[in-house]
Structure 1
Amino acid sequence: MRILVVEDNEGIAAGLRSNLMQRGYAVDVCATVAQAWGALTAERFDAVLLDLGLPDGDGSEVVRRLRAQIARPGLSPLSQLKPLPDPSTPVLILTARDQVQDRVAGLNLGADDYLVKPFDMDELEARLRAMMRRAAGQASPVIRYADLEVDPAAHIIRKAGQKVEISPREFAVLWALLLARGRVLSRPQIEEHLYSWGDQVESNAVEVYVHHLRKKLGQKIIVTMRGVGYFMPQEQE
């Protein structure tokens, strides 16, 4: 799962990045509104952690512009070539502004949650997971699929009641496919969930992770659509 942190305080940004990476997330960091918008235009993120007081403007502008990205008919072919950020990307505001009106304004603008600094990392991660779960239409904190139970909080997978040991990146691949079940994800789309900027991407990494998951969870758990990508069927008996 890939997170964009938008925070101009280097110490806070570094702490968030380190803590989240230790918990199995891929994390990228921006310090300005312009950088954040450039990142959201170029990449796909599972969630955004957004500070409000940024050097070149208010972080709420990122939320406003993000939620305004609705496909409109009649766009010229040239304009359609420019990628649009996903307007449904979950956003959690992290700020020192603790007044009720600030929280109300942020949520009304389109943020999914609001957390006041200083905060506890366990609470932040719990809110982050809940936010992404809602965005995926998943009410329960544990996903059940066939004979699997997947707990994203503990990064634990059980098959027929037995715990299965998998690596953080194997978990990230499974989680991405599970949330998108019924839809094919290409290799680049899966890689977006695995790597931060600057990470070395091995050409066959996704194939290796899929191979390991099939060995551990069953050959039919992930289906290959040759030349397109991978998917998990919507339902599996």
Structure 2
Amino acid sequence: MRVLLVKDHLQSGLMLQKSLQRSGYTVDLAESASTAYTAMQRFSYDALLLDLSLPNNQGTAILQTYQGQLPCVVLPARDPAEQRVASLCIGADNYLLNPAEMSKLEAYIKAILRRPEHREEQNLVFADLHYDPQTRLLTGPSGYQVLVRREAILIEALMQAAPRTVIKDNLEKNLYDSDEEASANAVEAVVSRFRRKLSALNSSCQLKTFRGIGYGLVKSMAE
């Protein structure tokens, strides 16, 4: 799961980012509205964690812009009742007072992604493969495989694009946080590990390499 955390207080933002990363999320931190808009144009996110205390009501503007497009948990610095009600009315899915308790925040994220309007978009199917992002279970003819975080990001990108090719550079951007430096063969390493799990499922699908371009999930010729 890739999450955008929008928070203008750098120290608390970094602490929250690291806590979520330890729980398996890919987390990008934006310290301003302009940075947040740039990130959302560059990456595809599963959820938005938004601090409403951004200057000049920019937090509210972000919430209004992405209303209905992106599940959102609002993280206000204070809790006036009218702000809470207004946030929920203009598109927030949930509301959690800062400083956020990690177990509660993770529960909120999972809850908004389990809602029917979000789950329909999240569950992925291609040929005989079924993937549930909530459990990270990839199911095929011979059972299932539990995917680690980067394998999960890989299969989501592949299944959403299938049978089209996913550009390698785009995969690298999704596999690693914006502040992480990936090694030269980082994508290949994730692909290699994933291929072993795919093989164990005896699927009719193959992860094909298009040299110089990227990767694609395709049905075998037998299909």
TM-score (structure 2 length as normaliser): 0.72
Amino acid at match of 2:17: R
Q: Is the 8 A contact 1:33 1:57 kept in 2?
A: no
Structure possessing the higher relative contact order (Cα contacts under 8 Å, 6 or more residues apart): 1
Tell me the SS of whatever aligns to 2:190: helix
Q: Is the 8 A contact 1:88 1:135 kept in 2?
A: no
The 5 A counterparts of 1:5-154 are 5-67=5-67, 88-134=69-115, 137-138=118-119, 146=128, 150=132, 152=134
- Cα distance in structure 1, aligned partners of 2:167 and 2:117: 18
Unaligned runs of 5+ in 1: 68-86
Task: Using the TM superposition, give the Cα deviation of residue 22 of structure 1 relative to its aligned residue in structure 2, in angstroms.
Answer: 0.7
- The Cα RMSD (Å) is 3.7
Counterpart of 2:189 in structure 1 is: 208
Higher helix fraction (1 or 2): 2
1:64-104 deviations in whole A, cap 9, x for unaligned? 2334xxxxxxxxxxxxxxxxxxx723322111343443233
1:182–1:17: structure 2 CA closer, same or farther, 3 Å change rule? Answer: same
Tell me the SS of whatever aligns to 1:138: helix
1:209–1:17: structure 2 CA closer, same or farther, 3 Å change rule? Answer: same
Q: Is the 8 A contact 1:223 1:232 kept in 2?
A: yes
1:142–1:37: structure 2 CA closer, same or farther, 3 Å change rule? Answer: closer
Task: Using the TM superposition, give the Cα deviation of residue 52 of structure 1 relative to its aligned residue in structure 2, in angstroms.
Answer: 0.4
Sequence identity, in percent? 28
Amino acid at match of 1:121: M
Q: Is the 8 A contact 2:133 2:152 kept in 1?
A: no
Counterpart of 1:230 in structure 2 is: 216
Tell me the SS of whatever aligns to 2:92: coil
Q: Is the 8 A contact 1:148 1:160 kept in 2?
A: no
Number of aligned positions between the proteins:
213
1:222–1:36: structure 2 CA closer, same or farther, 3 Å change rule? Answer: same
1:138-174 deviations in whole A, cap 9, x for unaligned? 26x9989858675735x56677897756543223323
1:189-217 deviations in whole A, cap 9, x for unaligned? 43333211232234543343233222123
- Cα distance in structure 2, aligned partners of 1:228 and 1:150: 24
- Cα distance in structure 1, aligned partners of 2:46 and 2:142: 28
- Cα distance in structure 2, aligned partners of 1:144 and 1:175: 10
